[in-house]
Amino acid sequence: MSQWHLSLWVLMCSALWILDCVRPLAAQVIPDNTLPAGERSQVSGNPNFQIEGGARRGGNLFHSFQSFSVPTKGSAYFNNAADVQNIFSRVTGGSISNIDGVIRANGTPNLFLLNPNGIIFGQNARLDIGGSFVASTASSLKFANGFEFNATNPQSAPLLSINVPVGLQYGVNPGAIQVKGDGQPFRLTDELIDTRDALRVPANQTLALVGGDIFLEGAILKTAGGRIELGSVGDNSLVSLTPVTKGFFLSYDGVQNFGNIQLSQLSAVDASGTGSGDIQVQGRRVSVSDGSNIQASPLGAGKGGKLVVNATELLELVGISADGYASGLFSTAYSRATEDAGNLTINTQNLLVQDGAQVSTGTFGAGKGGSLTVNANNVQLIGMSANGEVNSGLFSQTQSTGDAGNLTINTQDLLVQDGAHVSVSTYGKGKGGSLTVNANNVQIIGTFANGTSAHLLANAYSTGDGGNLTINTQHLLVRDGGQMSASTYGKGKGGSLTVNANNVQIIGTSADGEFPSGLFARTQRDATADAGNLTINTQHLLVRDGGQVSVSTFGQGSGGSLTVTANDVQLIGTSADSQFSSSLFADARSTGDAGNLTINTQHLLVRDGARVGDGTFRAGKGGSLTVIANDVQLIGTSADSRFSSGLYTQAELRSTGDAGNLTINAEKLLVQDGAKVSVSSQGQGIAGNLTINASSIRLNNNAALNANTQAVNTDPSIEQATINLHSKDLILFRGSNIITNASGENVTGGNIKIDTDVLVAFANSDISANSTDFRGGNVKIDATGIFGTQFRDALTPNSDITATGKNQQLNGTVQINTPDVNPNNGLVELPANFVDRSGLIAQGCPANKGNSFTITGRGGLPPLPTQALRTNQTATVNWVTLNPQEQRNISVGENSHLGRSKSPKLEVPQISPTIVEATGWVINKSGTVELTALTPIPTHTNTFNSAIASGGDLPIVPCPSQAAAIQK
């Protein structure tokens, strides 16, 4: 024989030997001899194995195998007695069980299969049993009496009379469980899918896979209303078993470390049925991808079951299938369901949902959707599917008559990013659920490539009312096009949006500039129902770079109210392209009326083109705007001067609705550098009224308070386009104006009412109530002092007070009330009876006789020589205290002892200040305006600008150079 033929013969023999050795290991059911003689398992047939014998203990039957594997198209048939309740089988050899055929049993017993080395179910693996099926890589089954049916130490204990097992005891490195199949996408209909291509158990039974790591690759696990348990545990774990009506409930209290569970390739874990089943998944890291899904949905009259996923480290839901099915967790009441769907609960350290994956509860029928609750340290919802058609996120929605369930997120950190959604919206007659987020940090950021915003939603799209959206957090950040919305698009009322936070930041727009970041509670186009309210309670609110907070109405329904309660509120700037102004607004853009806007804060800053507004663009009425603050600063315009910073209640061009009123109650109001406060009307509706109650009002550098109007449909009995100012001091500087001008045929100028201690206007700063085409308005000023401005018949380059009409006959009125000065005030009444001075004058004053001479000035004489002069009716000058040297110089006589003689100490009475007219004013170092009776000499330090910068008060005090006071 040649060397080549010899080598070929050896190779062929080796291959045949290997095949002969592998075949029985891959597809054999071989009993062992660990059970008592006469009670050992008996196996016949191949590839269809018939299993008989075993150790019978009451309703329990025990089998023990050296290997247990079922070949493709083969079977393993437990030919048990009909009254057997539980079949316990263990594999004591060292091989993995490969099951690619059918496992059968007589009657309805529960079947337990233990193999510590691992179990693999192939694509053709099936179950044909009447009870529950528990496949485990535990080392033993534990019973209540202490007995263990042990697969790793099968001789450790005798078999005793026992009942049901109480737990699965795992050893070191428990084997994995793997299930392969062709997969099944997320259920789209309410049909009971009764496929045989699955590992399935009957209704009200449990299918449990509990081992080390669990791998489902295209696997289908099913029960029509039973219970499915997936558990992955670590070394030396004890999993408790508790009998329930649906088989067994597994408890993991005795587990310290968990393993990993992976679902991929369209794997489906489905407990849906006429009455939905329950599903519990327990592991360290649980991953669901490639369109794989876990679902427990009611399909008929029965109530939905619970779906609970516990992942001690991470629950990861990623992507969609090739044909567009989302990976995820689902609990849905389908169209023929009359009962409610069950609740879906996630407990994990970290939840990641991305690339189109979803977690969803909802209803397509009369039954209510279940609640969705997420308890996690960190929640990240990111992006959409690659094709841009499926949003990643958390959903609790209704598309029929049943109400949607509530959605609650309890977490330290929530991130919703790049088109991902959290939604409790309604698309049918049913009401939307409530969305509640309890978190330390909430971030809603960005848009997907197709422009879809990251979004928190509680919208009403049909006839059902929308649910409420509530955020309780320390820090809320909405930026780069992210949005929160509780709006209505149909006949259903919109829900309310409430934010309770320490810090709220609304920043910027989407990358393409199409969508502003923001919070919205709106009535959208074609909606007939009212929008809900939007409330922000925070220490710090920042809206910048085009971010918005809005309660607008675009339909027939009324807009909700917007209320902000904060320690400080800052609105700054516009979007990069100046398309959007950073703003808070409540406006009417259709027939529905706008809601009211209220800001309660210590500090309000609106600058660089940002705006706070409440107005109307169409037939709906604008709401009122109220600001209650300690100080309000409105500064500047946008970089392109398109937007003036300010507060507005306006009826815009071509509108027919009336504008609302604007009220500011503040200690200090500063408007400067082109900023405005406006209640104007450019449409047919009447302008609102502006009322400001403030200790100090400063307008500087082209600032304006205006109530301009073009409205012709005015009611003379209703005050409109009126400015009411109540202040201690009102100062206008460098082209700043207070105006209620009117234009248009038969449009009367508005009225201006000013009640102030001091009115100052310089550098062409005007107060005017003019009308270019009709009658001028009325100006009434009550002031203690007015400086720098005066009434004129027409505007001049100086500071003016005007109320001109189309012609002199149509001029309005200007009434200026200042206090009159009585020339008799301050005069001193002289004594009527004079004394005989001859007896009061000494004829001589010799110093050597102890006499002394005291000068008392113009103070007169006291009643007694030893008393001080006290009368208040006598004009005096202040006493001057001389220094010792001066006293020595004024002593009289030659003897030194005469210089030491003491005159009586006189008390100088205080003079009541006389009242004279103020003729000037100065600003002291603290920024306080002081009225004086003399024209002050200008200095380089006391300037008006310094008063504006320091925000000082304006009391009326005596001029330091004159003993006189100005009193109101």
Q: What is the pLDDT of residues 167-216, one digit of tens each?
A: 999 999 999 999 999 988 876 665 555 566 789 999 999 999 999 999 99
* Domain presence at residue 19: no
Q: Rounded mean pLDDT of 891-905?
A: 35
Claim to verify: residue 299 and residue 400 sit in the same structural domain: yes
| pLDDT greater than 60 at residue 878 | no
For the beta carbon of residue 955, count every other beta carbon within 10 angstroms.
Answer: 14
In which band, very low, low, confident or very high, does the pLDDT at 164 lie, cut at 50, 70 and 90? confident
Asked which of 376, 405, 434 is the last residue of a domain, the reply is 405
Residues 565 and 713 in one domain: yes
- CA neighbor of 956 nearest in space, from 708, 787, 810: 787
Q: What's the pLDDT at 849?
A: 58
Average per-residue pLDDT in the chain?
83
- Does residue 766 lie in a domain region? yes
pTM above 0.75? yes
The DSSP H or E segment spanning 441 is strand 435-445
Q: Are residues 807 and 956 in the same domain?
A: no
Q: Which of 373, 405, 437 is the last residue of a domain?
A: 405
pLDDT digits (tens, 9 = 90+) for 825-866: 433 444 555 455 555 555 566 655 556 655 554 455 555 555
The DSSP secondary-structure symbol of 825 reads T
DSSP state letter for 56 = E
User: At 4, phi and psi to the nearest 5?
Assistant: -65, -45
Tell how far CA 415 is from the center of its chain.
12
d(CA 99, CA 97): 6
The answer to which of 245-249, 334-338, 823-827, 880-884 has the lowest mean pLDDT is 823-827
Neighbouring residues of 764: CB distance < 8 A, sequence distance ≥ 6? 734, 735, 797, 798, 799
Q: Which domain holds residue 967?
A: 911-968
Alpha-carbon gap, residue 827 to 702, rounded angstroms: 46
Of 161, 168, 162, 196, give the one whose Cα is nearest residue 182.
196
CB 692 within 8 A of CB 705: yes
Whether 815 and 940 map to the same domain: the answer is no
Does 311 lie in the same domain as 203? Answer: yes
pLDDT, residue 918, reads 58
Interatomic CA distance for residues 776 and 773, integer angstroms: 9
Contact (CB, 8 A) for 622 and 588: yes
Q: Which of 405, 424, 442 is the last residue of a domain?
A: 405
For residue 338, being part of any structural domain is answered with yes
| For range 678-682, the mean pLDDT | 82
The more confident residue out of 722 and 881 is 722
Q: What is the pLDDT of residue 455?
A: 96
Q: Does any domain span residue 865? A: no
The reply to whether 115 falls in a domain is yes
Domain at 134, CATH number: 2.160.20
pLDDT (tens digit per residue) in 354-386: 999 999 998 888 888 899 999 999 999 999 999
**CB–CB of 99/74 below 8 Å?**
no
Residues 811 and 928 in one domain: no
What single DSSP character describes residue 233?
B
For residue 249, what are the CA distances in angstroms to 121, 166, 420? 23, 11, 35
> Are 800 and 657 contained in the same domain?
yes
Instruction: Output the CA angle 400-406-412, nearest 5 degrees.
Output: 145
Same domain (yes/no): 917, 796: no
What was the pLDDT predicted at 192?
A: 58
921 and 811 within one domain? no
Q: Tell me if 561 sits within 8 A of 532, measured CB to CB.
A: no
Clarify whether residues 779 and 918 are in a common domain.
no
Task: Tell me the CA end-to-end span of the chain in Å, nearest whole number.
Answer: 136
Residue 236: which pLDDT band, with cuts at 50, 70 and 90? very high
Same domain, yes or no, for 810 and 915?
A: no
- Measured CA to CA, the distance from residue 805 to residue 739 in angstroms comes to 14
Residues 815, 922 within the same domain? no
Q: Give the residue-averaged pLDDT of 705-733.
A: 80
> What distance in Å separates the CA atoms of residue 458 and residue 841, rounded to the nearest whole number?
101
Q: What's the pLDDT tens digit per position in 747-765?
A: 777 899 999 999 999 999 9
Considering the domain boundaries, does residue 751 fall inside one? yes
Radius of gyration of the chain (CA): 45
Tokens of 705: 């308070």
Using CA atoms, how far apart are residues 491 and 628, in angstroms rounded to an integer?
35
As for how many domains the chain has, the answer is 3
In a domain, 426, yes or no: no
| Residue 472 covered by a domain | no
Residue 906: pLDDT above 50? Answer: no
Residue 964's pLDDT band, with cuts at 50, 70 and 90, is: very low
With beta carbons less than 8 A apart as the criterion, state whether 522 and 552 touch: yes
Residues paired with 477 in a beta bridge: 443, 505
pLDDT digits (tens, 9 = 90+) for 32-78: 999 998 899 999 999 999 999 999 988 999 999 999 999 999 999 99
Averaged pLDDT for residues 88-116: 97
pLDDT of 926 reads 61
Beta bridge partners of 248: 243
Per-residue pLDDT, 396:
93
